[in-house]
């Protein structure tokens, strides 16, 4: 017998661009990494031509994203919409 995967049919891609109110430093990077780890979707952050896995604080900080710059949150998977919304909210309210 063969079975089809429900996750293949329910997986989706979502994306949001966020203008940072503050530099992406250790505190917001830590919040993003913790939040990203709670999702099963593949999540990526893009800035200035670079893409990183947001589950790593050092990779997030290595982006060098400054206040006023735009960071794109992209996720693919069953909880992609929730992942993008959560990370975009953290980025948009970073201090």
| 15-67: pLDDT as tens digits | 999 999 999 999 999 999 999 999 999 999 999 999 999 999 999 999 999 99
- The residue annotated as part of the active site, out of 11, 15, 22, 25, is 25
Domains of the chain: 12-92 (3.30.1340.10)
Phi and psi, residue 58, nearest 5°: -65, -40
Residues 60-94 have pLDDT tens digits of 999 999 999 999 999 999 999 999 999 999 999 98
- Eight-state DSSP code of residue 21: S
Task: Say what the pLDDT of residue 6 is.
Answer: 45
* Cα–Cα distances in angstroms (integers) from residue 51 to residues 5, 60, 62, 71, 74, in the given order: 29, 9, 10, 10, 10
Contact 36, 91 (CB under 8 A): no
Cβ–Cβ < 8 Å for 75, 14? yes
φ, ψ at 16 (rounded to 5°):
-150, 140
pLDDT at 2: 38
Confirm whether 14 is a catalytic residue: no
Q: Read off the pLDDT of residues 4-28 as tens digits, 9 standing for 90 and up.
A: 344 444 567 899 999 999 999 999 9
- pTM (2 decimals)? 0.84
């Amino acid at each position: 017998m063969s079975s089809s995967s429900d996750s293949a049919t329910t997986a989706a891609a979502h994306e949001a661009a966020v203008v940072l109110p503050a530099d992406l430093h250790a505190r917001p990077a830590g919040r993003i990494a913790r939040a990203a780890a709670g999702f099963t979707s593949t999540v990526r952050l893009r800035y200035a031509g670079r893409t990183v896995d947001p589950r790593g604080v050092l990779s997030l900080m290595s982006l060098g994203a400054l206040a006023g710059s735009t960071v794109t949150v992209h996720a693919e998977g069953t909880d992609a919409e929730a992942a993008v919304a959560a990370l975009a909210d953290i980025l948009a309210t970073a201090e």
